[in-house]
Structure 1
């Protein structure tokens, strides 16, 4: 059994379909995991090397399968054999890298590409066409596995929804709104909100957005750009996006937190979230303990006490098809090797390995074990939406930025004296300020944003350890950048007092139609004796499902108390981003801002 990967989407698309803001820092920090298979035991007659680049969520399994292939007795047509080497890169970044001639990753140029979805072969077509090149991925490609998009809910909620009979995307995710579970006879469960990956950073997030548009247009194929502009369609999509709790850069990490809370608290708790839109494969992994905390040497942790149930909307869903793409860079012998490796991957033994991770087979068939784990599918099987034209996907992403749920964000920036410490030719503060400036470019112009600085009382801040620099209101990036540039660095780190006060202000100015969040950027730990009670702070910021205010933290230096920041974030159902390696701060900011 292949080990469960640490993350399904460490870093994703910077393609023509990505918003202009993301392009500002495209390619600066790209998480790459390379794993070679079979290099230590080559057969003497294996003169053909086949380089395969896989999407990250199945890379560990592909390494195992490549080793199995390399150690076997397979022969190619015409004689000889091949050695397969596997590297990994997120699908969207791989598409961009292929369009750029495959440079800058440090990975071998592939002859076979295994993205998560054919959506990326379409986006690569657009990139090649824009550059005046012959498209590298002009056709349709056979899948090696499949995973449909589902709405995952804790079992009691999912079973109740199923009892209502076939329901659509809008009925499940968009119609309940503030009335919440009252519409299902459970007012004590509160509001209905759900989690979703940002479609600019996640294949499943992109697929969820496509599925929503299909449901809105009442189509299962041939979605057009005119459909996207239909007021009824945009209203439908906006209504669904309004119920998003917050966006995620990686639903795997969200599920890890959920599993930890389930095992610690005696049952699943999604905080203010009633559901998560994600790949069916991840529901299986979660239910089997693959995303639970585990002891050293364990492949899987304990199964959660309350499993998730996969709910299938009646209009249909989108399938992630994991295509096997042979690229033009393959020579004749490599094409023969690719053909043989594809045959190998679709044989029963290898398909069983995919099934154990929660994938459906290459013909979309689900194993009995998978259905027992995630819940039975509708009578007659699932209906699937056809992939839209790549140009429609690009237009969809462009329109999503205006339809997504807007945010109410208060940024607290550490200005303690330790921020003067050097990082290369800059100070910690300069690095943090530069990252904040870049990250702010990714926010929506309709977001509301405020800025505080904090340290402790200083000569320039006599009465309080924190100070309002820009009042929470309409987003004025130039003003915020100007205030950051003029901040004075001095004092100690009044972390707890600042988080508590900022959280209280967001509660006082809570907007039920927005994502309400405190963002804390710090290089240290609490150094403020007047407020040193962590237990009280955790109680103060604990999520109120009726008025959720989440705390997001970035720890960007080795002296940062990341463990405490993580506890604070989790108490509020937010997230802490570890950028203690200063080179990771830009990436952390992109992931952070993608939550809004």
Structure 2
């Protein structure tokens, strides 16, 4: 891999120290909800105020548990009691904030931090060291809950794989890819592909990448930078990444879409995707209908017709350990309160609440309900990989940016007259083109990228409503950016015919070694009378498992027909991103590009 081009990696959301090697786009994306939720009532007699910041996936539960803690008025060892307040923030963004003195969050500075994984405490330690200050997270920390990483597969496929006996990461996600399901006696199922979260955005995606490297190195601890440079390791990782259908910025949203498709298509919603790598807790929530569409008044949706089965690779897996971290900002009384809160959270009654969300308990024990839902553990239980050193994680992600699956991306940019509308002191097109330029900067230098413009027939483009501006080919960021800046804005919005043509263009140029995707940026809805049949468009672009081309849409500004764009994206197993608030367009591009 020495000859491979090297690019600066934009690692979102860790916007912190360049010297630590975590090069980022500061403030580019907010993945968690920046909100502080009050817990309980003010109690003057409880004079110790304890601020807790939780990762987003368990924050709602922690807010409820804090209310119970406050209501209990538990006595502290030195007398008095504590009042706990919980706010929520994505683990990566919280790492950022702690590294720069908790600025810019609009949330109270925490005394206790509850990230998804100790991987984040290691990254914060790395940042503190690079900044020349005492580490805020120097220790190992107790867990309040756990969730191992699994390979989740639709039931029939998962049971078939389980019947083969113990299989490893490579045998499940890599070696089977070349001949597909024929290697398991099911050629009619086609190619083996799987989805995973982008490790630059997701804890489970990061954990999946670490697990892959451990499996490649054939060890469960003490992974080194030398291991990462081993040609056999890089070949193993590349082989697995080659079977990725697409990367996701959010596995919860991916599962919500899968649940919706399952219920809408008589249980055929898994489409061409054979597996997903994610935490066990999400498999449970999916199977129980917690991620299914809900009707008014329902606490949860219907259980999917085709549940997921958790498959455990024989080499072992990575555990998301949800550590309880007491920060240096806590004084002596707050540390006593934190110790009491930890004791409270690990009591049976509170652990049962975690179990209802699909978590294992603080000692990694699974409930009977969890195993009944996701599938039994292997005989002898699970084997866990030890977390690598933070420097190794950073090097691993640097390597992943080169080894990950590359993409064929055709960008279709709306140049209709409505893009002249004002957004502050600029036009919609100026805002959109600036965001597109930033998005291009996130692509891999080995991606292949093309650019189309579309509106309706105009004086400058009398023959058809779309035009090839840059042919699909080797990524040339400078050329693409220059061409976007010089596009002419005029005409109506020929959305359907452009999507259909762009999709077919990529089907005809399909590359099985790449992710093949159409990206549509528009501020409107279809205004082209020669082609206004949405049902026909959805049928035309429906995902072909043999040549999967996905459509990703960004709905820009308030006039966009997001509902229709969402249908278009889902028909192809792609995704629509809502930037109807123009200030969110940069975020939308970041999440979109992270899918490649």
TM-score by length of 1: 0.96
Instruction: Please give the residue correspondences for 1:113-262 in structure 2 after superposition, counting only pairs within 5 Å.
Output: 113-262=113-262
Name the residue aligned to 2:6: none
Partner of residue 553, structure 2: 553
Distance 1:595 1:89, change over 3 A: same
5+ residue gaps, structure 1:
1-10
Corresponding residue SS for 2:178: helix
Matches of 2:73 and 2:427 in 1, distance apart? 58
Q: Contact 1:37/1:64 (CA < 8 Å) preserved in 2?
A: no
Q: CA deviation at 1:17?
A: 9.1
User: Which residue of structure 1 lines up, in the alignment, with residue 568 of structure 2?
Assistant: 568
Contact 1:193 1:273 (C-alpha < 8 Å) held by counterparts: yes
* CA-based RMSD: 1.4
Aligned to 2:39: 38
Structure 2 SS opposite 1:175:
helix
Q: Is the 8 A contact 1:32 1:105 kept in 2?
A: no
Q: Measure the CA separation in 2 of the matches of 1:51 and 1:565.
A: 41
1:124, CA displacement in angstroms?
0.2
Corresponding position of 1:383: 383
Q: Distance in 2 between matches of 1:276 and 1:200?
A: 17
In structure 2, relative to structure 1, the CA distance for the partners of 1:18 and 1:295 (3 Å cut) is farther
Displacement after TM superposition at 1:298 (Å): 1.8
Change (3 A) 1:305 1:15: farther
C-alpha contact 2:16 2:99 (8 A) present in aligned 1: no
In structure 2, the residue matched to 1:346 is 346
- Tell me the SS of whatever aligns to 1:23: coil
Partner Cα distance (2:76, 2:15) in 1: 37
Residues in 2 aligned to 1:298 and 1:13: alpha-carbon distance in whole angstroms = 37
State the partner residue of 2:331: 331
Matching of residues 299-318 of structure 1 within 5 Å = 299-318=299-318
Kindly provide the CA deviation profile for residues 308-355 of structure 1, in whole angstroms up to 9, marking residues without a partner as x.
000000000000000000000001111011000000000000000000
In the alignment of these two chains, the number of paired residues is 585
Deviation at 1:364, TM superposition (A): 0.2
72-81 vs 52-61, greater mean Cα deviation:
72-81
1:466 alignment counterpart: 466
Please tell me whether the aligned partners of residues 19 and 130 of structure 2 are also in contact (alpha carbons under 8 angstroms): no
Segment drifting more, 20-29 vs 485-494: 20-29
- Equivalent residues of 1:555, 1:561 under 8 A apart: yes
Give the structure 2 partner of residue 414 of structure 1.
Answer: 414
- Aligned-residue offset at 1:261: 1.0
Output the CA distance in 1 between the equivalents of 2:507 and 2:20: 31
**Cα distance, 1:263 vs structure 2:** 1.1
Could you give the per-residue CA deviations for residues 253-298 of structure 1, whole angstroms, max 9, x where no partner exists?
Answer: 1100111111111214222210000000000000000000011222
Summarize the Cα distance change of 1:171–1:17 in structure 2 as closer, same or farther, 3 Å threshold.
farther
1:174-218 alpha-carbon deviations (Å, 9 max, x no partner): 011131110000111111000000000000000000000000000
Q: CA deviation at 1:38?
A: 2.8
Is the Cα–Cα contact under 8 Å of residues 24 and 438 in structure 1 kept in the other structure?
no
Q: Is the 8 A contact 1:34 1:86 kept in 2?
A: no
Aligned to 2:364: 364
Q: Is the 8 A contact 1:16 1:127 kept in 2?
A: yes
Q: Which residue of 2 aligns with 1:8?
A: none
Q: 1:51-99, CA deviations, whole angstroms, 9 ceiling, x for partnerless residues?
A: 0000000000000100110111301111110110000111011011100
- What is the TM-score of this pair, normalised by structure 2? 0.96
Q: Measure, in 2, the Cα distance between the counterparts of 1:19 and 1:464.
A: 51
Offset, 1:357: 0.1
CA distance in 1, matches of 2:123, 2:21: 16
Instruction: From the superposition, tell whether residues 334 and 25 of structure 1 become closer, same or farther in structure 2 (CA, over 3 Å).
Output: closer
CA shift for structure 1 position 24: 3.2
Residue equivalent to 1:581: 581
Map residues 430-441 of structure 1 onto 2, 5 A cutoff: 430-441=430-441
SS at match of 1:51: strand
The 3-state SS of whatever aligns with 1:546 is: coil
Q: Taking structure 1 as reference, are residues 474 and 494 closer, same or farther at Cα in structure 2, changes over 3 Å only?
A: same
Which residue of 2 is the match for residue 91 of structure 1?
91
Cross-structure match for 2:25: 24
Equivalent-residue separation in structure 2 for 1:498 and 1:196 (angstroms): 29
Q: Does 1:322 align with 2:287?
A: no
What's the counterpart of residue 4 of structure 1? none
Q: Which moved more, 1:258-267 or 1:567-576?
A: 258-267
Q: Secondary structure at the match of 2:72?
A: coil
Structure-2 change in CA distance of 1:18 and 1:84 (3 Å): farther
Q: 1:16 to 1:164 in 2, by over 3 A?
A: farther
Q: Deviations over 1:449-503 (max 9, x none)?
A: 0000000011111111001100000000000000000000000000001001100
